[in-house]
Chains A and B, each alone.
Chain A
Amino acid sequence: KAGVTQTPRYLIKTRGQQVTLSCSPISGHRSVSWYQQTPGQGLQFLFEYFSETQRNKGNFPGRFSGRQFSNSRSEMNVSTLELGDSALYLCASSSGTDRSYEQYFGPGTRLTVT
């Protein structure tokens, strides 16, 4: 099986711009979660989508949003970028059928905001 893929791998944006990141989960997985990883805050949960519906949401401002398509692919969008949004954004997929599920992570998108 192909793993989780994320595009693009690297991105440089300017403050105030917006950005869209993409994630393709493992075939058959219906849950996609997004995380932000920074040296200061560690790994923080952004949101989870399951069957095109946002099932869980972390404690991030409304500038961070996402969606999931019928083929389970997911996108996350960050509007009005701030310097503090510079981070590694990780996507993870799972079967999502119960809370004991393990997640399979993509390689991440490295976002740099200047």
Chain B
Amino acid sequence: AQSVTQLDSHVSVSEGTPVLLRCNYSSSYSPSLFWYVQHPNKGLQLLLKYTSAATLVKGINGFEAEFKKSETSFHLTKPSAHMSDAAEYFCVVTGGSYIPTFGRGTSLIVHP
């Protein structure tokens, strides 16, 4: 069995300040973890993925995430938010099966 919890439904930041989107997971197997971003009226775009290599994963657009097994977390961070980062972000886990489990999403709001 596997599950994902995105701890915040909304995160609001000012442009130029750091971003932290939190994700906890559970999986009976060694997980693969992903972060996707969805802009309004668009499909999902892969930001980054963890598949048991380096625990600190760098993605596109300056995002990165750290896999912490002891805390079962995979939080997404970015040092400095841009207005274009405003979107919905999804944390995804794939465990023993091919069926990915999506979190409920975190809406990132960026203020000028």
Residues of A bordering B, CB below 8 Å? 4, 31, 35, 42-45, 48, 55-56, 58, 90, 92, 96, 99-100, 102-108
Q: In the complex, A35→B46 CA distance in Å?
A: 16
Q: Which 3 residue pairs across A and B have the least CB separation, nearest first?
A: A105-B43, A100-B51, A43-B102
Interface centre among A42, A56, A100 (most CB of B within 10 A): A100
Q: In the complex, A106→B46 CA distance in Å?
A: 12
Q: In the complex, A55→B98 CA distance in Å?
A: 9
B88 to chain A, nearest CB (A): 10
Residues of B bordering A, CB below 8 Å? 32, 34, 36, 41-46, 49, 51-52, 90, 94-105
By secondary structure, the B interface counts as loop
Q: In the complex, A76→B105 CA distance in Å?
A: 25
A102 to chain B, nearest CB (A): 5
Q: Which of B49, B97, B105 contacts A56 (CB 8 A)?
A: B97
Cβ contacts under 8 Å, B36 to chain A: 105
Cβ-defined contact, B90 with A43, below 8 A:
yes
Cβ contacts under 8 Å, B103 to chain A: 42
Q: In the complex, A42→B6 CA distance in Å?
A: 12
Interface centre among A43, A56, A92, A107 (most CB of B within 10 A): A43
